[in-house]
A and B are shown apart, each in its own frame.
Chain A
Amino acid sequence: MDFDLSEEQRLLKDSVERLVADKYDFESRKRYGAEPKGYSDALWTQYAELGILGLPFAEEDGGFGGGAVDTMIVMEALGRALVLEPYLATVVLGGGALRRAGSAAQRQKIIPQIAEGSLKLALAHAEPQARYNLANVAATAKRDGDGWVLNGAKSGVLHGDSADLLVVSARVSGDQTAENGVALFLVPADAGGLTRRGYATQDGLRAADIDMAGVRVGADALIGGESDGLAVVRRVYDDAIAATSAEAVGAMQRALELTVEYIKTRNQFGQPIGNFQALQHQAVDMFTALEQARSMAMYATMMTQEEDADERARAMAATRVQVGRSGRVVGKNGVQLHGGVGVTIEFAIGHYFKRLTMIDAMFGDADHHLGILSDLGGLLPAA
């Protein structure tokens, strides 16, 4: 049992944290958000130079052979600054599908481009009617000669508006909610028949709704088998749960720091409001929520490597419950302790609150995952 980081990991942590500290203060973030894509391409190039875009991919595919702990380190650092760039969409989600299920040819063609920062990905899986049921896929893929024709609608595709290449799920066979019969395809964003409607999300990131009407792709577009795409999506979502939990921990840590700084310096009744016990205890509740979430983010990170799908599902569900609930405590208390300024757009704390809320809504919220965990019988055996 060992919670220490290796020398390389410590260096990674230092360098990402330094980059974010130098380039990503609250004012800079506002500027990046106002750029055409809703983030900074210049920063994206710096991430490539730092080596974090190719981090989790195998070296033979053009990556850097990092593991789940490395992703945790990066996501936590990005979370501190509420980074806008499509790291999660490209590296964890879209890239994750390739990493988990792509052929050697696909990986060797695409991953070097991800690593050098010239290609951005998005994972287009969720559909308007699906809520959190990952198996609910109405989009279809039909064989057409050597290739495939895709039809259907995808929604809330994180950074789908600026991605160059989409990983799209579509049903090849089975009922709309069948576990089998879903396949994943690589679809260029400029493919004929594909339209995207991009929009800002509540937390200042970007997403897109996507329509596919007779989108043709070649045989080489299929990722993995034509009926087991859902298992890949589940695996990638588990990776994303671990990654966004680390991101949430970074965001919570910073939100707590901002709040403690604020109540130490804001004076009322002739003294800093941080002297008042009612406020102190709310700040302590934030700290406790943060540390419990940090523990579970570490746990989820370790459990991404668990091969037993049920065991992994239990761990991820438990993590989502804790991180979702912790995020809500930290976000709400953070705004409350800031008082009136906490609800203004000019103060950072509200933006942390919004991101933490949206992280919870992204891959199944705390309540949804509590249901999953309880239906799986919880974590411990009966005795």
Chain B
Amino acid sequence: MDLSFTPEEQAFREEVREFFRTALPEKLRAKLRAGHHVSKDEQVEWQRTLNKKGWAVPHWPVEWGGTGWDPVRQYIFREELMAAPAPEPLAFNASMCGPVIIQFGSEEQKKRFLPRMANLDDWWCQGFSEPGSGSDLASLKTSARRDGDFYVVNGQKTWTTLAQHADWIFCLVRTDPSAKPQRGISFLLIDMKTPGITVRPIITIEGGHEVNEVFFDDVRVPAENLVGEENRGWDYAKFLLGNERVGIARVGASKERVRRIKLLASESRHGNPPVLENARFREKLAAIEVELKALEMTQMRVVANMATLDGKPDPASSILKIKGSEIQQTLTELMVELAGPEALAYQPHGADGRNEPAAAPEWALTSAPNFFNYRKVSIYGGSNEIQKNIISKQVLGL
């Protein structure tokens, strides 16, 4: 047992860090550090920078643009990316739809979609949840009826993240209404420009527009856009959801937030003593650091076990989502506490003219919106209560 990184791994870390130091635009770094989201153009430009370097989709097979790195190097890369902080590759392309097409798609689909996915020529979004199908995803009702060489899709998806930017959507649709819920589902790729698709924004509590409703009204989708076999979509969805268990902990991002909070809390503002001199705040921060360190070690155990487990999920991996989300949320909460009264002013991006610039610094103005927004992380991707049901069944055998 040796938890240190090898000299080669350390050299690799340096190489990655150096790349982020030089290739990441300072403006983008500053924006992320201040707690802002990046724009579509910024995300695309950054993804192309990564792609030019050959690092757009490290975990994909080499023939489709992957790097061939072992799990430890992939882990280091992700860590450094989040520490930079740099925009994380669009999950819908890189870790959701991409791997499904690689695993279950046809050769034509791979050639057609994968390179454009890696370069973010196509922006993908995810059509899984429906108004009546949240945690109980298998109850989904959006239907795809075969009509010659087409499927005709009708129904509604919701919580569709960044659908307003999307060129394509990968959908779970019901192709056999008479089968058991999990049996009659297929995995369909749909061009967002197809007639009959309507996107409506959902505004979240902090005032942001991240998620949408997507309506399908007699949308005709070429049958060649079916991934794998008809009615096997549930298996592909399970593969997709089980795929990014390691990344979901977002340890690197939380570490970046801790360092940031420490820096901001060590500064004296308006002549007041630094917040870090307050033992209550300091101990809260120390407590979350302990949790984060433990989670980092848990994640490293999972990463180190990947080779030996050969694709089977490590029981410890199931806690990554729960703990990772709790830690991320607590850190946004500490940021609000740190901002104090300077968290008050509401200054949405692209102010409407009724809001003039407030005196508070950017990091303080984004603190409350991020705290409000981050309630989502214990809800999306299977709520933490659903995660507990999964652990209870799969790990504890209850």
Contact = CB atoms under 8 A, between A and B. Distances in A.
A259 to B, nearest CB: 9
Contact of B322 (A288, A302, A374, A383): A288
Contacts of A383: 256, 259-260, 262-263
A7 interface: no
Given A260-B397, A374-B282, A3 B304 contact: yes
Interface string A347-383: 0000000000000000000000011011101111111
B147 interface: no
Contacts of B323: 288, 292
A371 B283 contact: yes
B258 interface: yes
A309 interface: no
Interface string B247-267: 000000001101110110010
A11 interface: no
B2 A1 contact: yes
A35 interface: no
User: How many A residues are at the interface, by size bracket?
Assistant: 35 or more
B1 A322 contact: no
B262 A1 contact: no
A299 B297 contact: yes
A283 B293 contact: no
A4 interface: yes
A380 B286 contact: no
B121 interface: no
Contacts, number: 145
A287 interface: yes
A374 B1 contact: no
A298 B290 contact: no
Interface stretch (B43-51, B172-180, B385-393): B385-393
Contacts of B293: 296, 299, 318, 322, 379
Contacts of B305: 3
Contacts of A291: 298, 316, 319
A291 B316 CA distance: 7
Contacts of A371: 279, 283
B241 interface: no
Interface stretch (A57-65, A142-150, A154-162, A272-280): A272-280
Contact of B297 (A2, A263, A296, A370): A296
A263 B294 CA distance: 28
B72 to A, nearest CB: 6
A318 B292 CA distance: 10
A3 B287 CA distance: 25
B301 interface: yes
Nearest to A68: B1
Interface in B58-96: 72
Given A2-B304, A381-B259, A292 B285 contact: no
Contact of B392 (A1, A280, A321, A378): A280
Contacts of B286: 321, 370, 373-374, 378
Interface string B265-309: 010000000000001001101110111011111101101110010
Interface in A1-46: 1-5, 9
Interface string A185-213: 00000000000000000000000000000
Contacts of B300: 1, 3
A264 B294 contact: no
Contact of B289 (A4, A283, A285, A318): A318
Given A284-B391, A296-B294, 6 more contacts: A1-B9, A3-B300, A280-B388, A292-B291, A378-B282, A378-B285
Listed from nearest, the 10 A-B pairs whose CB atoms lie closest are A295-B297, A382-B262, A374-B286, A383-B259, A280-B392, A292-B294, A382-B263, A374-B282, A284-B388, A295-B298
19 contacts: A2-B3, A260-B396, A264-B397, A280-B388, A280-B392, A283-B398, A284-B396, A285-B388, A288-B319, A288-B322, A288-B391, A295-B296, A295-B298, A299-B294, A321-B286, A370-B290, A371-B283, A375-B282, A379-B289
